Amino acid sequence: MMETELTEDIDQPLRDRLKAHPRPALLWGAGLCLLLLLEGPTYLDGLLGAIGFGLGLLPGAPGAEAFASASAFFSELPHLLSRELIPNRGYYDGSAWQGTFLGLEPKYAWLIRFLLVYVYVAVLLGWLWYGYVTFRRHYRAADWTPTDDVIDRLRSHYWGLFGLAVVVFFITMAAFAPVVGPTTAEENIEGPYSHDMQYYDADTETVETITIGEANLGSASRGSGDSNVGIWSYDDFGRFHPVGTLVSGKDLFTFLAFGARVSLFIGLGSMAIAGFIATTLALVTAYYKGVTDLIVVLTSDSVQAMPALLLVILATVVFKNHWIAELYNGAMLFILLFALIRWPGLWRAVRGPALQVGEQEWVDAAKSYGQRPTVIMRKHMAPYILGYLLVYASLTLGGVIISVSALSFLGLGITAPTPEWGRAINIGQSYIASQSWHISLIPGILITLVVTGFNALSDGIRDAIDPQSEGAEGGATGAAAGGGGG
């Protein structure tokens, strides 16, 4: 009798299991909706605005104005973590701070908003984990799946968890760049002379108004005498700079936060395209083999034989005045270039697992039942190689971030005024031995940390998927050592 009930429960669709016991799912869904609504309007605004901008680039494309109007509507809706709710811009009138959150010093007001962003992200990620636990406890038919072992191994992989923490920090900085920065991109980067600010003049004991561009000129970090605004300090106009200012006087932390968006956008965009090409070709070559596999091998060898750096530099110069180089100040061009360069490596990484899956009995059974090749590749082969693709794509992503920064350092990357970490290193390289060492050193440390984080995370995922891998031997300690050597 119990075996019959168990079989019926396993065969029961998830929809029916939810209907039979809806309370845990409804509670979790309500909590998730609440968390998303706290910050949702600002990101719906950005998403709809980006879609409207993209449609506007296509002549005669309908809907651009509708998306722009929807973006404007959501931009007016309140959200929890905003600089309007927790302002850090203000001035000291001789007795107290004016215009800041609860009258606090700008550095404390900014720090509260910064920490709240990461608390919000931690709660959101924790709630998503609780959702997985709820599904496994109440709605999953099987008591155990191979995914459970993968997750358990990753949770004990300290090197991989370090990488996960770094990657979450980086992605949060990029996603919440308009909030975590002490100032805005419009004021700090795009149009400093189009915005005004107030400050207290101690000599005249009056509140004066000045353009942000003029204030930046008086806050420049140029490594000599008083021409420096360093880490965790104020400038002469009462503005707080967590990691100092640039040579132009612009806030470095805001520059880095929005630069993280650029790096993440290029990295994820190029890896998405390269991963799609690599997965498609791996499935096709594993299914058909023979001449098809040979053609792809020769093509990938030809692409990998080309000097990647010279190819990117050449393409940057050739397409300098082309319309595609103007999309997001050159970011779209780099996405396409890095996708072209990186797909052969990803394809070779997943080709072996795809060939192994292609020889399995269930694939032969699906062929004998007359299923279409596309269905077999999508349903019976693709799920078994996506884990390997994730590992190698995360490894490659770090290389893309370094490459973009290197090109920007050489003056061939993302065009100004769009922020990019490599350009900050280039700007501050002549001041590295002076008081303004922070201009180059801090972006350099961030690049190293982020790339190490992606590599560590990929090592953790690899060892979790394949417990026989070198890094997974010897338990958690061995995993950390193996990950570090990867």
Question: Can you give the C-alpha Rg of the chain in angstroms?
Answer: 26
Q: What is the CATH number of domain 254-485?
A: 1.10.3720.10
Q: Which residues pair with 92 in a beta bridge?
A: 97
- Phi and psi at 245, nearest 5°, equal -120, 165
Q: 475-485 and 438-465 are packed helices; what angle lies between their axes, rounded to 10 degrees? A: 130
- For residue 286, give the H/E element and its range: helix 252-288
Residue in 266, 248, 229 with CA at minimum distance from that of residue 404: 266
Cα–Cα distances in angstroms (integers) from residue 254 to residues 50, 116, 295, in the given order: 21, 17, 47
CA distance 179 to 275: 31
Render the burial of 442-473: b for 16+ CB within 10 Å, e for the rest: bbbebbeebbebbbbbbbbbbbbbbeebbbbe
> Which structure tokens are listed for 138?
């109440």
- Phi and psi at 377, nearest 5°, equal -65, -40
> pLDDT at position 299, please?
94
Residue 206's SS3 state is strand
CA geometry: angle at 232 spanning 230 and 237, to 5°? 75
Interstrand relation of 91-92 and 97-98 (parallel, antiparallel or unpaired): antiparallel
Residue 151's SS3 state is helix
Q: What is the pLDDT along the chain (486 residues), one digit of tens a residue?
A: 444 444 445 557 888 888 888 999 999 999 998 888 787 666 665 555 556 555 554 555 555 577 667 666 666 666 677 888 899 999 888 889 999 999 999 999 999 999 999 999 999 999 999 999 999 999 988 888 888 898 999 999 999 999 999 999 999 999 888 889 999 998 988 889 999 999 998 888 889 999 999 999 999 999 877 789 999 999 999 999 999 999 999 999 999 999 998 898 899 999 999 999 999 999 999 999 999 999 999 999 999 998 888 888 888 888 877 777 777 778 888 999 999 999 999 999 999 999 999 888 888 898 888 889 999 999 889 988 988 898 899 889 988 999 889 888 888 878 778 898 999 999 999 999 999 999 999 999 999 999 999 999 999 998 998 777 655 554 443 333 333 333
Work out whether the CA dihedral 289, 295, 299, 301 comes out positive or negative. Answer: positive
- For residue 91, give the H/E element and its range: strand 91-92
Cα–Cα distances in angstroms (integers) from residue 168 to residues 31, 62, 109, 386, 403, in the given order: 21, 37, 23, 21, 21
CA-CA-CA-CA dihedral for 254, 259, 265, 268, to nearest 10:
-110
Cα–Cα distances in angstroms (integers) from residue 316 to residues 27, 35, 54, 261, 322, in the given order: 52, 42, 22, 21, 10
Is the peptide bond prior to 178 cis by the omega test (within 30 degrees of 0)? Answer: no
Residue 229's SS3 state is coil
Residue in 10, 11, 12, 28 with CA at minimum distance from that of residue 135: 28
CA distance 135 to 145: 13
Q: How far apart are the first and last CA of the chain?
A: 52
> pLDDT at position 340, please?
93
Domain boundaries, the chain: 21-80, 84-143+191-244, 254-485
**How many beta carbons lie within 10 A of that of residue 192, not counting itself?**
22
